[in-house]
Amino acid sequence: MQRFMVCASVTALIGLAGCAASSPARVDPASGAEARRVLGVMMMAPNAGGFIVQKVTPKATDPDGSFRPDAVTDIYRYEYAEGKYDWTAYIGSNPNASNTEKFEARVVTNPEPAMRVSIGWLFIYGRFPAGQSGPVSGGATGTAMIVQHEGPPDGGIVRVFLVGKNLYSDKIKVFHDSTLKTMLKKVGDYAELDAAGSLTTGSIDTNDAYKKKVDDIMKKLEAVGFTTK
């Protein structure tokens, strides 16, 4: 299995004199879990002509372990490593989201460790990654994928994208209420499901609108220092 690396600092900043990086803060938003968790907030520097990376803990988590960003532009990074599981997730709000549409996310551990997002998107990669939103989940032995939720938390549309770049890509199983709905086999494949489980599949190679969704998310990640090289 190929190992993965995330660049958690920006090597060059335009218009900034420098950036002091702090050590990752360790938190455990999901009570009772034993895995090592590292959570960081990627914050854009306003009017600075560049980006900085600031690692901080959330101000608070809800009783169920869920957390929200301070600002709609924040991107959170979460790392999970225990046993055979070794994955990293980035979570952000949808493009053009309002302050009332900021993402909400939490880590679940049953039946397996997974990142769950309500509204917004998550990008997850590594060994045995799993992403969820509502009744939809996607998982693989080792892959990179995006899970995006648009619409109300108790409804709306969920999309799962198999992402390539220079990351190792494996088949993704997509479930709705624990029922296997489809399998994404090629980079660019996606599955779209509504709350009732109605399924649409395709490829971003033939869907410009969905290709733009993936490109926009990848650009946000690259802007805060994520690299696939």
- The Cα-based distances of 91 to 48, 49, 111, 164 in angstroms read 23, 23, 21, 18
**Residue 99 DSSP symbol:** G
Q: What is the pLDDT of residues 125-163, one digit of tens each?
A: 999 999 999 999 999 998 899 999 998 777 889 999 999
- Among 160, 148, 169, smallest CA distance to 220 is for 148
pLDDT at 62: 65
pLDDT at 227: 72
Here the tokens at position 158 are 């969920």
Q: Is the pLDDT of residue 12 over 60?
A: no
Q: What is the pLDDT of residues 61-92, one digit of tens each?
A: 666 677 888 888 888 888 888 899 999 899 99
Amino acid in the structure at residue 3: R
- Among 31, 144, 164, 8, smallest CA distance to 87 is for 144
Q: For the stretch 32-47, what's the b/e string if a residue is b when 16 or more beta carbons lie within 10 angstroms of its beta carbon?
A: ebeeebbbbbbbbbee
pLDDT at 177: 92
Q: How high is the mean pLDDT of the chain? A: 74
Do residues 183 and 172 lie in contact, with contact meaning Cβ atoms separated by under 8 Å? yes
CATH 2.60.40.10 fits 76-223, yes or no: no
Greater confidence, 15 or 220?
220
Contacts of 218 (CB under 8 A, 6+ apart): 123, 163, 165
58 preceded by a cis bond (ω within 30 of 0): no
2-16, 114-128, 165-179: range with lowest mean pLDDT:
2-16
Rounded to 5 degrees, φ, ψ at 210 are -75, -30
pLDDT at 39: 42
- Among 108, 104, 10, smallest CA distance to 58 is for 104
Integer Cα distance of 122 and 129 in angstroms: 12
- The Cα-based distances of 66 to 59, 69, 106, 208 in angstroms read 12, 11, 4, 33
Report the percent of the chain where pLDDT is more than 90: 39
Q: What is the pLDDT of residues 190-208, one digit of tens each?
A: 999 998 999 999 999 999 9
pLDDT at 169: 72
Distance of CA 56 to the CA centre of its chain: 18
Q: Is the pLDDT of residue 38 over 80?
A: no
pLDDT at 119: 87
Mapped onto helix, strand or coil, the DSSP state of residue 50 is coil
Here the tokens at position 94 are 């949808």
Here the tokens at position 129 are 């990654």
Q: Is the pLDDT of residue 179 over 90?
A: yes
Integer Cα distance of 120 and 151 in angstroms: 9
Integer Cα distance of 226 and 123 in angstroms: 11
pLDDT at 20: 28
pLDDT at 79: 84
Place of tokens 């490109």: 215
